[in-house]
Amino acid sequence: MHGEYKTPGGKLVAVDLEVEGDTLRDVTVSGDFFLYPEEALGDITSALEGLSVELSESEIAEQVRMAMPRGAELLGSSPEAIGAAVRRALAGDSEDRP
């Protein structure tokens, strides 16, 4: 499954994932945003792995926010954008409209 979200005035975030039972699996986050340090991407994807497909966009965003290491910066995007991309992937809506 694939979902995208373009942050208004910002960058595109894309999420690819599989669903196993009622949980997210094989999650990949990509896009044209900037992340410092780059290694924080692993923390973000690890936080998404195993999440329930029933979580709301804001609940997913909170999981991403909590997983980001102290001092990490997500430039041009946000945890909310990642949450939106995940929900779009689950809904089968991959278009990048805000």
- 33 contacts: CB under 8 Å, gap ≥ 6: 7, 10, 11, 12, 13, 74, 75, 76, 77, 81
Is 62 among the domain residues? yes
* Residues of the domain holding 49: 2-91
Quick check: is 96 in a domain?
no
**Beta carbons of 57 and 80 less than 8 angstroms apart:** yes
Domain count, the chain: 1
- Whether residue 38 is contained in a domain is answered as yes
Q: Is residue 31 part of a domain?
A: yes
Chunked mean pLDDT (size 10), the chain, 98 residues = 92 96 96 93 96 97 96 94 97 62
Percentage, residues of the chain above pLDDT 90 = 89
Q: Write the CATH number for 63.
A: 3.30.390.50
pTM across the whole model: 0.91
Q: Does any domain span residue 97?
A: no
The DSSP letter of residue 69 is: P
Q: Which two tokens stand for residue 51?
A: 């999440």
d(C-alpha 32, C-alpha 13), whole Å:
7
